[in-house]
Structure 1
Amino acid sequence: MPRVLGIDIPGRKKLAYSLRYIYGVGPTVALEICEKAKLNPDMKADDMQDADIQRLVGVLQNDYRIEGDLRREISANVRRLISIGSYRGRRHRASLPVRGQRTKTNARTRKGSKRTVGVVRGKEARSAVKAGK
């Protein structure tokens, strides 16, 4: 299991796929990285020599924002949206969908589990509920 920038990437898989274990690297970016580092995307990650790993690390550090830097940038952007009071910031603060999705139904991931609100009918039932509290 080669270690690239503190992240273990699976060694038995092809390099283009193994790079996707790094936060911020998807399929297209993984192929770009292989091309810039002059590495074969179809070779196994275990087959990389130390020089290959150094080229890979150089490309990742110089050309791409990944892992901690990317996470910090994203959270800073969300904090900025919240602080300026934009619509998107208010949606983030309220834990609601930000990109225009419907919320009458669905949106359970952002809203959390359902909270059922009970209705009590009749004076006797209402007084019994109040006495129970």
Structure 2
Amino acid sequence: MARIAGVNIPTSKRVCIALRYIHGIGPVNALEICEKVGIPLDRRVNQLTDAEILQIRETIDRDYMVEGDLRRETAMNIKRLMDLGCYRGMRHRRGLPVRGQRTHTNARTRKGKAKPIAGKKK
């Protein structure tokens, strides 16, 4: 099993698909990495040589922000908004949708399970 950026990527999948298991690498970045390293798109992870895996690791370390660093930066950005007390920060703090979605109905993913209100039924 190949370990890149602290993630065990699946061995039976194609390289451009398996790289997507790393947080911060999507379809476009995965294809870009394969192109930079010079790996054919139909190559599987278990067919890679150690040198190719090392090249992929170095490319990701050099050119992309992934996993822990990316999560930390995202968390710091949200914390900054909350500390500023701006509208988006307040929405994060209250656990409500941040990007203008309606909350009268829906928004259950962000608000959590519906809480019953006593005396509401008529």
Q: TM-score, normalised by structure 2?
A: 0.95
Please identify, of 37-46 and 57-66, the stretch whose mean Cα deviation from structure 2 is larger.
37-46
Provide structure 1 residue ranges, at least 5 long, that are not aligned to the other structure. Answer: 121-133
How large is the Cα RMSD of the aligned pairs? Answer: 1.1
- Aligned residues between the structures: 120
Q: Secondary structure at the match of 1:106?
A: coil
Amino acid of the structure 2 residue aligned with 1:52 = E
Runs of 4+ in 1 over 3 A off after TM superposition: none
| CA deviation profile, 1:4-37 (whole Å, cap 9, x unmatched) | 1221111101000000000111111100111111
How far apart, CA to CA, are the structure 1 residues paired with 2:91 and 2:41? Answer: 40
Deviation of 1:118 after TM superposition, in Å, equals 1.5
Q: Secondary structure at the match of 1:46?
A: helix
Amino acid of the structure 1 residue aligned with 2:100 = G
Deviation of 1:119 after TM superposition, in Å, equals 1.2
Match of 2:103?
103
The 5-angstrom pairing of residues 1-133 of structure 1 reads 1-119=1-119
How far apart, CA to CA, are the structure 1 residues paired with 2:40 and 2:86? Answer: 45
Q: Secondary structure at the match of 2:82?
A: helix
| CA deviation profile, 1:27-65 (whole Å, cap 9, x unmatched) | 111001111112122200111101101110011000000
How far apart, CA to CA, are the structure 2 residues paired with 1:29 and 1:23? Answer: 11
| CA deviation profile, 1:64-86 (whole Å, cap 9, x unmatched) | 00000000000000000000111
Q: Secondary structure at the match of 1:101?
A: coil
Q: Secondary structure at the match of 1:8?
A: strand
How far apart, CA to CA, are the structure 1 residues paired with 2:47 and 2:6? Answer: 18
Deviation of 1:108 after TM superposition, in Å, equals 0.3
Q: TM-score, normalised by structure 1?
A: 0.87
Greater RCO structure (CA 8 Å; 6+ sep): 2
| CA deviation profile, 1:107-127 (whole Å, cap 9, x unmatched) | 10110111111118xxxxxxx
